[in-house]
C-alpha cells in the first residue's frame, strides 16, 4: 500500500476514526485503525464493537493495500504532522508515515483479525444540516444521565416523523426536549441513541451542509462529508416524557437570558456539593440567592417581567444554568407553580426547545 495526501484532510479523517478505537480492547486488533486503499479511495475505520467510525477521503494512490495500525498512536501521529504533503507506505516492518524530514513507522496488527464491519442500511434516513444537529444535540445532551445503572436515561430519544425530528433526554431530575425540521420520508420511528455518541458525532459534523441520520432496529448512523459514525442503540423504554410536562402555568417570568446567566454565575461559588440556589419571583424583579453554611452568601437581582404570586423556589445551580444556557433566544421564559412542582424553561417560541426542571426541596 502506498499513497500521498494533504495533511489536513488526512488528519481530520484519522481524528474521526480515533474516537471509536477501543480504549480497553478485548482483542488487540480492536485497539487498531483499519487503513484500506483502493485506487484513490482511502478508507479508515475503527470499532469498539459498540461504535464504529469510518472515514473515506480521496488521496493519490500508488498501490492498493489493507493494514491495521495501533489506533491511538496513529491519531496522535496524524494530528502532530505539519501541514503539507504526507506520504504513507506499508513496508515489511510497518506503516511508514513521512512528511519532509519526519518519519514514523507504526507496527502492523493482524488485518485478518479485524472484524468485518456491516455496512449500515440506508433504508430509513433523514437529513438536516450539521449546524442544526449540533445545536439540538448541545441543548438536549446535557440532560441525559451518566448513571450506567439506568441505561435508558443515558440515551437521547429520537422521534423521527415526517418533516420533524424530536430529541428528548432526562436524568429524572430534568427533561430537555427539542423539536426541529428535517426531511424524513418514512413511517415514524423512534431510537434511543447513546448521548455520548450523539454529542461527539454532532460536534464533529457541525460544519457539514447535510448530515444523514440512518435509523435501524439496533443501530443508528450519522454520516456527512465522507465520515460515518455507527452506534448501537440503547435497549429499553424511554419514559413517557410528554405526560411529565404540566400545562397551564399561572406564574410566568420573562428575563434577559444573558443577564440571568450572569446573575447565576455570581452565586456559583456557593453552589458546591449541589448546594441549591434560590430564585425569588416578584413583580418586575427576579432575585437569585446562593449561600453556604458557615462560609457566606451572595445575591443578585435582575429585571424581569413576572405575572403571578410572589414565590421562592430552590434549584440545583448546575441544572438551572444548563437549562437557561440552552435556551436559543435572547429572552428566557420561566414558568413556575410552587416549590415542589417542576419549572418549565424555554424561549419565547415554546415549541422549539423546552427544559423541565424539578426544584430542590428545602428542609422545614
For other proteins, the binding residues (CB under 8 A) are: 145, 147, 149, 170-175, 239, 244, 274-276, 314, 316, 340, 342, 356, 358-364
CB 168, CB 354: distance < 8 Å: no
Nearer to other proteins, 28 or 246 (CB): 246
Give 210 or 274: the residue with its C-beta nearer to other proteins.
274
- CB nearer to other proteins: give 49 or 245: 245
In angstroms, give the least distance from the CB of 121 to other proteins.
33
CB of 89 to other proteins, least distance (A): 49
Q: Report, in Å, the least distance between residue 363 CB and other proteins.
A: 4
Rank residues 149 and 351 by Cβ distance to other proteins and give the closer one. Answer: 149
CB of 173 to other proteins, least distance (A): 6
CA distance 4 to 10: 10
Closest CB 361 distance from other proteins, rounded Å: 5
Task: Return the number of other C-beta atoms located less than 10 Å from residue 146's C-beta.
Answer: 9
Task: For Cα atoms 160, 246, 352, give the angle at the middle one, nearest 5 degrees.
Answer: 40
Rounded Cα–Cα distance for residues 151 and 52 (Å) = 20
Name which of 239 and 298 has its Cβ closer to other proteins. 239
- Residue with Cβ nearer other proteins (226 or 276): 276
Residues 6+ apart with CB under 8 A from 248: none
- Residue 333 Cβ vs other proteins, minimum distance, rounded to whole Å: 19
Q: What is the dihedral of CA 332, 336, 340, 345, to 10 degrees?
A: -30
Burial grade of 97 (CB within 10 A; 0-12, 13-18, 19 or more): buried
Per the CB < 8 A criterion, the answer to whether 345 and 323 are in contact is yes
Amino acid at each position: 500500500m502506498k499513497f500521498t495526501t494533504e495533511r489536513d484532510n488526512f488528519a481530520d479523517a484519522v481524528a474521526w476514526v480515533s474516537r471509536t478505537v477501543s480504549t480497553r480492547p478485548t482483542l488487540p486488533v480492536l485497539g487498531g485503525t483499519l487503513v484500506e486503499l483502493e485506487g484513490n479511495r482511502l478508507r479508515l475505520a475503527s470499532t469498539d464493537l459498540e461504535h464504529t467510525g469510518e472515514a473515506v477521503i480521496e488521496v493519490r494512490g500508488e498501490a492498493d493495500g489493507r493494514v491495521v495500525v495501533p489506533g491511538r498512536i496513529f491519531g496522535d501521529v496524524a494530528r502532530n504532522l505539519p501541514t503539507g504533503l504526507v506520504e504513507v507506505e506499508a513496508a515489511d516492518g510497518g506503516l511508514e508515515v513521512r512528511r519532509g524530514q519526519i518519519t514514523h513507522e507504526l507496527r502492523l496488527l493482524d488485518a485478518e483479525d479485524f472484524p468485518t464491519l456491516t455496512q449500515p442500511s440506508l433504508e430509513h434516513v433523514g437529513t438536516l444540516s450539521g449546524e442544526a444537529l449540533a445545536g439540538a444535540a448541545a441543548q438536549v445532551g446535557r440532560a441525559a444521565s451518566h448513571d450506567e445503572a439506568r441505561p435508558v436515561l443515558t440515551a437521547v430519544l429520537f422521534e423521527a416523523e415526517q418533516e420533524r425530528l424530536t430529541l428528548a433526554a432526562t436524568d429524572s431530575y430534568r427533561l430537555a426536549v427539542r423539536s426541529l425540521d428535517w426531511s424524513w420520508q418514512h413511517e415514524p420511528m423512534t431510537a434511543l441513541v447513546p448521548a455520548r455518541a450523539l454529542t461527539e458525532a454532532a460536534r464533529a459534523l457541525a460544519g457539514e451542509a447535510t448530515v444523514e441520520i440512518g435509523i435501524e432496529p439496533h443501530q443508528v448512523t450519522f454520516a456527512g462529508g465522507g465520515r460515518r459514525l455507527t452506534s448501537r442503540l440503547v435497549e429499553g423504554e424511554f419514559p413517557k416524557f410528554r405526560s411529565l410536562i404540566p400545562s397551564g402555568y399561572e406564574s410566568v417570568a420573562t428575563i434577559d437570558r444573558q443577564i440571568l446567566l450572569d446573575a447565576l454565575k455570581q452565586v456559583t461559588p456557593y453552589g458546591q456539593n449541589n448546594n441549591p440556589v434560590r430564585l425569588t419571583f416578584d413583580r418586575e424583579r427576579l432575585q437569585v440567592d446562593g449561600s453556604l453554611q458557615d462560609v457566606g452568601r451572595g445575591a443578585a437581582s435582575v429585571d424581569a417581567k413576572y405575572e403571578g404570586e410572589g414565590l421562592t423556589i430552590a434549584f440545583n445551580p448546575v441544572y438551572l444554568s444548563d437549562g437557561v444556557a440552552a435556551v436559543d433566544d435572547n429572552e428566557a421564559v420561566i414558568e413556575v407553580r410552587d416549590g415542589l412542582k417542576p419549572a418549565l424553561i424555554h424561549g419565547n417560541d415554546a415549541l422549539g426547545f423546552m427544559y423541565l426542571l424539578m426544584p430542590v426541596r428545602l428542609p422545614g
